[in-house]
Amino acid sequence: DGGITQSPKYLFRKEGQNVTLSCEQNLNHDAMYWYRQDPGQGLRLIYYSQIVNDFQKGDIAEGYSVSREKKESFPLTVTSAQKNPTAFYLCASSVDPGPETQYFGPGTRLLVL
């Protein structure tokens, strides 16, 4: 079955530690996105990638980094510079960038110890 997978489902981060969230899609989509969701809130864009080897900052990119070395993979690293990382992180993809239907993964919940 085609879809988007995210791992792990839960992730714990210690103070000063970098952690990486995985996002993989087998839909052959060009565009991929990372969103952050805080309790009771909508989604906010962290980073997006319109094509392999290219990515741009979203609205809240500070303290995060990404790479897009393969079409199917778009990992997100939460660095120690992100002072409030506790949130629900969602990865999405679409056939093309722009007003296209986006398909979401199941999410990763990041907690700080």
Which residues are CB-contacts of 92 (< 8 A; sequence separation ≥ 6)? Answer: 4, 32, 33, 34, 35, 102, 103, 104, 105
Q: Which of 16, 69, 98, 113 binds other proteins (CB under 8 A)?
A: 98
Question: Alpha-carbon distance 31 to 102, whole Å?
Answer: 9
Q: Give the range of 13-21, 63-71, 73-81, 92-100 binding other proteins by CB under 8 A.
A: 92-100
Among 20, 70, 100, 111, interactor with other proteins by CB under 8 A: 100
Phi, psi values for residue 25, rounded to 5°: -135, 145
Q: Which residues bind other proteins (CB under 8 A)?
A: 4, 6, 31, 33, 35, 40-43, 45, 48, 50, 56, 58, 88, 90, 92, 94, 96-107, 109
